[in-house]
Amino acid sequence: MTGAVLVAKWDALYGRLLGDAVRVVLPLARVTVERSAADVRRRVAAECHELAILGLSLADDDGLPLLQELVASGRVRALLTVTLRRDAQVVAFLRRTRSVSVFDPAGDGPERFTLALAHAAQGRRYLSPSVQEALIGGPGSPPDLGRMLTPTEWQVLAVIGDGSDDKAASGALGLEPGSVHSHRKRLMRKLGVQSRNDLFRRSLELGVVRILPDGRISRPAWELVRNEIEQGRRERERRRAGRRTGK
């Protein structure tokens, strides 16, 4: 591989170590190491990349919506994420998106990273054994929220999961506060929690909201839903344009 390779980790030392490992395995590649989602977006907008290696915690944002964006952009040929996360958001995304490789730095030895990197560089998917177990629903795997919640409940949880009250959430969701309150009660019953604080903690466990390295709260579930809606809109526009061209 002689093209551009992008490494993104919020921990600067970890990022440099990953970059050095890539240079050993792919000595002809042009490797860049970044820490923030904003810098990753800037790099990818300026140049297509052969490979991107991302953590799911970045200096300024959660990495999961960014990973979704890179898959949809078509500007990165192969994607490898290095992460310990097994929350419901991550598992659901990986089940839907079969092109992303995943390396578990706790479950796999360092020598396996070379194998993961080689697989991703050659266009083959690599999954650490612990990740494979989570994807097939092994013991201790996170729940399938897609089966537990309705689409509307999913969107409501993506907003109220960060602790927003009914009035604040109603503006983001375009619903009346009373409707948000009703959805909140059903969500709390389905998720087995008793209070708003319990709902926030449960949302953290599920990956619906995340606490960034600087202490800010990110809502990756809301961003994922919004990105999927936008991708669907663009796909419908492409189909309509294709039909007009065909005529």
- Domain map of the chain by residue range? 4-135, 145-235
Q: Give the model confidence (pLDDT) of 90-104 as tens digits.
A: 988 898 899 999 999
Section 231-246 average pLDDT: 75
pLDDT per position as a tens digit, 151-181: 778 788 888 988 888 998 898 888 899 999 9
Predicted pLDDT of residue 144: 66
Residue 188 confidence (pLDDT) above 80: yes
Alpha-carbon distance 29 to 216, whole Å?
35
Worst-scoring range by mean pLDDT, 24-28, 131-135, 179-183, 210-214? 210-214
CB-count burial class (<10 Å; 0-12, 13-18, 19+) for 238 = exposed
Q: What angle do CA 30, 104, 222 make, to 5 degrees?
A: 85
4-135 has CATH 3.40.50.2300 classification: yes
Q: How far is Cα 195 from Cα 179, in angstroms, rounded to an integer?
A: 18
Reported CATH class of domain 145-235: mainly alpha
Summary mean pLDDT of the chain:
88
Q: Is the pLDDT of residue 220 over 90?
A: no
Tokens of 227: 């990105």
List the one residue out of 94, 87, 65, 95 whose CA is nearest residue 205.
Answer: 87
CA–CA distances in Å: residue 16 to residues 106, 151, 212 = 18, 40, 20
Between residues 226 and 208, which one has the greater pLDDT?
208
> Rounded distance, CA 105 to CA 127, Å?
12
pLDDT of amino acid 182: 93
Residues near 195 by Cβ (< 8 Å), separated by ≥ 6?
none
Contact between 33 and 19 (Cβ < 8 Å): yes
